[in-house]
């Protein structure tokens, strides 16, 4: 087994995924998603795949979160559309 830290990361990932799915506020979801990507990068480092970890950290946490922020900035922040 990859140790209790690895298992902890996996549980955190599952929780993050569910939180992203459930929250109505997209900005909160984006932030949780950034955390999700970072922990995923850490998991991969645990699984001895550093290249992938760096790329995931940079692309997943970095760029994807930026993209989501830009999209939300230019459209609508919350999921339920009162208008």
CB of residue 17 vs another protein: minimum separation in angstroms? 5
Q: Contact at 8 Å (CB) between 50 and 77?
A: no
| Cα–Cα distance for residue pair 15/55, rounded to 1 Å | 23
Which of 34, 38, 42, 56 is the binder for another protein (CB under 8 A)? 56
Q: Contact at 8 Å (CB) between 39 and 13?
A: yes
Q: Contact at 8 Å (CB) between 43 and 10?
A: yes
CB of residue 76 vs another protein: minimum separation in angstroms? 6
| Cα–Cα distance for residue pair 66/77, rounded to 1 Å | 14
15 binds another protein, rule: CB under 8 A: no
CB of residue 14 vs another protein: minimum separation in angstroms? 6
DSSP structural state of residue 56: I
> Footprint of another protein on this chain (CB under 8 A)?
1-2, 6-7, 10, 13-14, 17-18, 20-21, 26, 29-30, 33, 36-37, 40, 43-44, 47-60, 62-64, 66-68, 70-76, 79, 81, 83
């Amino acid at each position: 087994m990859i140790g209790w830290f690895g298992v902890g990361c996996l549980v955190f990932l599952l929780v993050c995924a569910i939180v992203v799915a459930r929250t109505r506020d997209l900005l909160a979801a984006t932030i949780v998603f950034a955390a999700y990507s970072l922990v995923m990068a850490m998991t991969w480092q645990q699984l001895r795949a550093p290249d992938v970890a760096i790329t995931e950290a940079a692309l997943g946490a970095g760029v994807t979160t930026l993209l989501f922020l830009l999209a939300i900035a230019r459209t609508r922040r919350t999921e339920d559309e009162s208008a």
